[in-house]
């Protein structure tokens, strides 16, 4: 009886392992992120680019690869439901500008490699583990949370860097600004615009 049960467990485990490895989207999710990393290096990192062109290229990659509407809602937390449509639209636009203005310059002259290690499906999402290998610095350990949209395109929801969710971190920062600003979300939008213009 024990041998029979043991054999059943082994077969059952192998069945799920083979099914997981047979998921073509798991491998495709790794390819998607490595391709995105290559595009960042080719179209954003180049020091010969003007600052304006660098931002334009980064904006294109961000808006196409990330679910920016979901991200905008997440970082506003409970305040999203409290604001009207026009403020929501202004926030999404300004937040996208803020992301581009903040992160595009950080890649100027960056050299390294984006190497996807594995991809595991959790519910309807893929958690893709990746190492970012800096040419002159430490290796960053990332886990990307991505999904396939209705058009079968991968979209990024979050990135976890060395155990820290970027969305959760951004939301905590925004919650603090809103709480301490008499104009609430509108005050946050104004604060982002000031940083963008610097």
Phi, psi of 161 (to 5 degrees): -110, 115
| DSSP for residue 153 | -
Measuring CA to CA, which residue among 74, 76, 85, 39 is closest to residue 58? 39
Distance of CA 190 to the CA centre of its chain: 24
Residue 138 has what pLDDT?
83
Q: Across the chain, which distance is largest between two alpha carbons, in Å?
A: 73
Instruction: For the chain, 198 residues long, give each residue's pLDDT as a single digit of tens.
Output: 544 444 444 444 434 444 445 688 999 999 999 999 999 999 999 999 999 999 999 999 999 999 999 999 999 999 999 999 999 999 999 999 999 999 999 999 998 899 999 999 998 999 999 999 888 778 889 999 999 999 999 999 999 998 899 999 999 999 999 999 999 999 999 999 999 987
| DSSP for residue 79 | G
Per-position b or e across 33-68, b if 16+ CB within 10 A of its CB: bbebbebbbebbbeeebeeeebbebbbebbeebbbb
Residue 162 has what pLDDT?
86
- On whether the CB atoms of residues 131 and 117 are closer than 8 A, the answer is yes
Q: Reduce the DSSP state of residue 158 to 3 states and report it.
A: strand
Domain boundaries, the chain: 25-197
Which positions ≥6 away from 4 have C-beta within 8 Å? none
25-197 maps to CATH 1.20.140.10? no
Q: How many helices (H) and strands (E) does the chain have?
A: 7, 5
- Which residues is 160 bridged to in the sheet? 143, 165
Q: Which two tokens stand for residue 141?
A: 């350990």
Residue 66 has what pLDDT?
98
């Amino acid at each position: 009886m024990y041998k029979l049960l043991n054999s059943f467990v082994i077969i059952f485990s192998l069945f799920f392992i083979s099914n997981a490895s047979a998921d073509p989207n798991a491998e495709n999710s790794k390819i998607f992120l490595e391709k995105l990393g290559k595009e960042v290096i080719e179209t954003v990192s180049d020091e010969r680019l003007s600052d304006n062109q660098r931002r334009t290229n980064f904006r294109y990659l961000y808006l196409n690869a990330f679910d920016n509407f979901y991200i905008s809602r997440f970082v506003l937390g409970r305040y999203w439901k409290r604001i009207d449509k026009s403020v929501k639209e202004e926030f999404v636009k300004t937040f996208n500008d803020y992301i581009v203005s903040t992160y595009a310059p950080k890649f100027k002259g960056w050299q390294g490699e984006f190497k996807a290690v594995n991809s595991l499906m959790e519910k309807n999402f893929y958690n893709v583990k990746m190492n970012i290998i800096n040419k002159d610095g430490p290796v960053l350990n990332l886990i990307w949370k991505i999904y396939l949209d209705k058009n079968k395109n991968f979209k990024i929801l979050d990135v976890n860097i060395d155990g820290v969710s970027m969305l959760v971190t951004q939301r905590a920062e925004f919650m603090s600004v809103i709480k301490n600003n008499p104009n609430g979300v509108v005050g946050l939008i104004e604060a982002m615009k000031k940083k963008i213009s610097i």
